[in-house]
Amino acid sequence: MTSNTTNRSSLKRFAWLSIGAAVTTITLKTLAYFLTGSVGLLSDALESVVNLVGALMALAMLTIAARPADDEHAYGHSKAEYFSSGAEGMLILVAAVSIIVTAIPRFITPKPLEQVGLGLGVSVAASLVNLAVGLILLKAGKRYNSITLEADAQHLMTDVWTSAGVLAGVGAVALTGWQRLDPIVALIVAANIIWSGVRIVRTSALGLMDTALPSEQQTLLKNVLEKHTQNGVEYHALRSRESGSRQFVSFHVLVPGEWTVQRGHQLLETIEADIRNAMPSVTVFTHLESLNDPASWEDTNLDRPGTSP
């Protein structure tokens, strides 16, 4: 097993941390709901159930993504992370619909809240758990370039802000006595959750569609290549894509026709090493061509037409 695979496998401990946080917050928020009868707090508890399902999905996909490349998956299994983040985004949307369905009847027929102080205290404790774990996952997701951990972290942080809104709503009901504030806040919470879910699903879809590297990384890549465009050397057909935590880059390098194969190969080795030093997680594919061959200028498209026999 490669060191990179070992590093990816170690990410499962963060998924277990997320699972533990979800179980803890479900317990606390459900208790807060039963204490107060607040539909806003119920909406919070429902989202925590989604957190648990998402964390379990994250654990499964991180396990698959950590597998080394094999004959059937020569580019590795890192794309499995997109399935996790996409599924979590869809679950977020399902939770939002559940909140709306619960909040509308309560808006039509308001009910008084009970034991608000105790219920809010329990919910605050749950929010602090989510905040701590969310910050840990966010840091790990950026450090290890894991879209699964980042999606899970964003979900938890959304949950923190959602809880803050719900707490404000319940507190406002306690102060004003206007019972409809509780379901109104729940509906606002649902809108926020929908926005988060759509954003996560979109990011996952772009990853599955082999979207190119971000513009800042493409600029970094081109800067490295430009350093080698001297002595008649050129490049074209530059392509890039992301696959979970991995990045892939391919391009053609055109050199004078009188160069030896050895000289051209040494140049490619130098270019690839420079790119890997600038972008450690990238896999580079190069193709050497002659500047003097007209065919070298006809293969810039991804799909080349076949030739008739």
pLDDT at 271: 94
- 128 and 262 in a single domain? The answer is no
- 165 and 63 in a single domain? The answer is yes
- 86 and 227 in a single domain? The answer is no
- 95 and 203 in a single domain? The answer is yes
Over its C-alpha atoms, the chain yields an Rg (Å, rounded) of: 26
Residue 309 in any domain: the answer is: no
Contacts of 140 (CB under 8 A, 6+ apart): 11, 14, 146, 149, 153
- 141 and 251 in a single domain? The answer is no
- 83 and 232 in a single domain? The answer is no
Residue 294 has pLDDT above 90, yes or no: no
| Mean pLDDT, residues 166-178 | 73
Q: Which among 182, 208, 234 is the end of a domain?
A: 208
CATH number of the domain residue 289 falls in = 3.30.70.1350
Contacts of 28 (CB under 8 A, 6+ apart): 122, 123, 125, 126, 129
More confident residue, 242 or 264: 264
Q: Counting every residue, how long is the chain?
A: 309
pLDDT at 276: 92
- Give the integer Cα–Cα distance in Å for 233 and 241: 24
- 47 and 173 in a single domain? The answer is yes
pLDDT tens per residue, range 90-107? 877 877 787 788 778 877
- 252 and 279 in a single domain? The answer is yes
- 141 and 287 in a single domain? The answer is no
Residue with tokens 């880059």: 249
Phi/psi class of residue 145: alpha, beta or left (left: φ > 0; alpha: ψ in -120 to 50)? Answer: left
CATH number of the domain residue 148 falls in = 1.20.1510.10
* Closest alpha carbon to 241 in 209, 219, 272, 273: 209
Residue 303 in any domain: the answer is: no
Number of domains observed in the structure of the chain: 2
* Lowest-confidence segment of 39-43, 74-78, 135-139, 279-283 by average pLDDT: 39-43
Phi and psi torsions of 259, nearest 5°: -65, 150
Residue 53 in any domain: the answer is: yes
DSSP designation for 71: S
Residue 60 in any domain: the answer is: yes
Q: Which among 158, 183, 208 is the end of a domain?
A: 208
| First and final C-alpha spacing in the chain | 45
| Mean pLDDT, residues 146-173 | 76
Residue 265 in any domain: the answer is: yes
- 73 and 111 in a single domain? The answer is yes
Domain span including residue 62 = 3-208
pLDDT tens per residue, range 8-27? 667 888 889 989 988 888 88
- CA-based diameter of the chain, in Å? 87
Residue 180: how many CA atoms within 13 Å on its side-chain side? 5
Residue 188 in any domain: the answer is: yes
- Give the integer Cα–Cα distance in Å for 151 and 188: 21
* Lowest-confidence segment of 55-59, 183-187, 229-233, 305-309 by average pLDDT: 305-309
- Give the integer Cα–Cα distance in Å for 73 and 104: 48
